[in-house]
Structure 1
Amino acid sequence: MFDAEITADLRHAAQALVDAPIELATTEQLAEVLGAVASTQALLDGVLARGLAHFSDAGGPEAAGAANAKAWARRELHLDAGETGRLITAARTTQTLPRVAESLRAGRIRLDHVHEFSAGLKKADPVIITSAEDYLLDVAERSEPSALRAEIREFIEAVHPESLDAAYIRGMDKRDLQVSKVGDGYAVTGFLDIATGARLKTVLDHLGAPDDRDDRRAPSERRVTNLDRLLTQVLEHGLPSRNGFRPQLYVTVDLERLQGMPGAEPARLHGWGSIPDLLLGRLLCDTDVTPILTGAHVDDGRRDHGGHNHEVPDQPSDRRRPGSVLDVGRSQRLATPQQRIAITHAQGGRCANPGCHNTFLELHHIDWWHRDHGTTDLNNLIGLCPRCHHLLHAGLLHARREPGTGDVILTTGEGHRLSDSDDRDRALRRLLVRRRLREIRQLVHSSGIAA
């Protein structure tokens, strides 16, 4: 039996929070309030989705004189038809993915995460999403919806990489760039293919980074000012470097992909995602290739049901071996170009501070060069954007490596842990999920099923 008093209690609790003198709260209290509001909002969004779906199925809109649920919600809830449709679809998704439903009801994910699962179910065979539900849910509970979207897209592309080639060809056909005199300046319009757009974004990210720690200009102002400076220097001398490092594009590709093995994952362009083999082949024609060891085949007794060894992450004792060839100790203070490539790859091209997505990185010694007599070794370096680097030197952030795992841990000045890096269990789950997706891809390849 449904208790109608719940609605009155909900309104009373919400009104009490609205009337509270929130401006008098401390920052710690505000953080607690914001966390409670966000988690409660996620719970209420889930109730709204479930309620709309049940209301529609039970004939509620017709009984209320509306043509359908979208018409009723537009009239009574002031929701547009698109939002109502997404809410009802989200309710159907939670029926298909029960663990996602459980996480939403517990407030561990938001409705926007469920929308990403809905989009994944629509774009791909549900077996792809259901096979990876545990891992994708782990991503959702740790990350923002855009990160989940990127992960789902990566899984779909791993099963159907041929769709990347078709999209790449469509993009090449739409290429255009125009610089037109408009009013007091010039308007830049157009559409760039993946490679050209990635190069332009890399340069603009490079130009948009602060010149120093005291640079308070807006990123847009920095980009335009530095773009003018760049164009002047290119016309005179060629593309300049910054701190001895020129902006680069980074493409990561597995050896299996280079060997043309069925089921291998597509190559990934940092800042974009998966790319087709057509583009990979063109980029490999005039690029430097740096081999990086990211895992090892270890027979530790963990086998799948087929008796095959799982690919597992390097053990802590093994981590030092791949990096040792890049270590320079105290022989020089600044990181080498090879170390920068390794750090950029390890961090996915983003700042090491959780939640910060800045892509221009300055390398920092975890054990400081002067204060702690730290070494310029790969294990002692992390990449931080200029702002977060400044926070660290100001004492508002601290960095250390966790004993045993070697994971980088960032904490606030008060010691609150910010880093929530993947543990070994999650890394193993990711590898197992990818193995399952490779098997699906191989099945599709061998049976000739159309993507």
Structure 2
Amino acid sequence: MPQAPTAKLLTDTETFAAVWKGACGFPSATDGADVDAQVAGMSDAGVVRAIEAGFAVIRDEYAFLARLAASVEHRSRSTLGADSLAKRSGSRNATQLLADRGRITMAEASRLIRVGTATTAPVSLLGERLPVPYPAVAAALKAGVLPVDSAAVIVSNLDEAKLNADPEDLATAESFLVDFAGEHAPDLVRKLAIHTRDRLDTDGILPREEGLVAKRGLSRINRRDGMVRYVLDADPVTAGFMDAWVNGHVGADLRKPRFEASRGADGCDDQHEELDTRTFNQKAADAVVDLLRFGLSTPESMGPAVTTTVVIRMDLDALLTGLGEAQIDGVEQPISAGTARRMAAEAELIPAVLGGDSQVLDLGVSRRLFSRGQKLALAERDGGCAHPDCDRAPVYTEGHHLEWWNAHGGRTDLANGILLCSPHHHMIHNQGWSIKVIDNVPWFIPPPSIDIHQKPRRGGKIRPPKSAA
């Protein structure tokens, strides 16, 4: 008599219950105790046995969920229109239905659908059952020896190689990866699956590489706690350079002896080891900062078109007393005036010292041309692009003559300058806007074609009111 489909799940669930009870050591003493108390009473070996038994149940359950996910996908196919299961359930598609009902992420729902579809026999237009796309994965999943995460990476990588791979080689690779996944974690399976994919489909390596390069990017996120998070999506070559720099510097830092000198009782200097309390992530971050400092200190290596200067702005009182706050150009969170004074002594860091009404008193010393100094002074007043609807930082802006240089003979000096990003610079020229600076505040006056009343719009940096001292 054939075994019921749920027999293994039931058996493993009973095993888990028995292992749990046995791991508690004295079942009679733990009856009625809460879970935390029972776990606290387990030995180390008991905890490990319970974990293994629990994961066996999870693998069984996910095998069923993947099969159900494939059915949901099939019943929600777009050709059914309003009759699809997802639409009738109030979801956009099968992925959202699974995510909503299972309270899981869209990524996990998509993974279940992919695995379930790849391990379920499809039905032809004539109603005939076709071969399972990945039979070895299906068998291992059903047997409870293959986690869904490992099944997903095997399927996704073999799918990419399927078009150009020999069917026999593909079947051999599938069996090899399934056997490997039965003994190793999904992270290792993913690495091996990627190498296997590339060996099966050597012609596809270059297009895949170009696709990864196209996905590269760097995003900047201002966190609520004042930190700034940079998220770098790196293609393999970029990641290679980044890893080589960070790992090399962190590795050297870990191997470097650190000592501090102290005066001993005999008057001689004793050497005591100084412990470095930084975490690995902190050391990696410091390695990247060291690279940036090096680049800023050697601007000639980046070519004449690249201008990289860190500007630190502070009031004159803060400069003299070392008390209060300062601002790094483009960074929302202020720093202490003491930190700013220390930073200002470094190469290519310009202290912009301000007096009353934010008048620029001093721009420090830099190796930039005078026009660069003018732009730094304008950046203090405008904060970046001065247009009311723009938040572009100063580095993305260019100088604009309030009285146009070519049409009105406007002078190239601070009183006749303003910072605008390229799109707003073109807008001002092409649409006929005019700009006036009143009490160090730029006002943008639209043409009648945009506002018949030509109501001025305030631009520039919004400054907090000065405290009454």
Same fold (TM over 0.5): no
Bigger relative contact order (CA 8 A; separation at least 6): 1
TM-score (norm 2): 0.39
More strand by share: 2
Structure with larger Rg:
2
TM-score by length of 1: 0.40
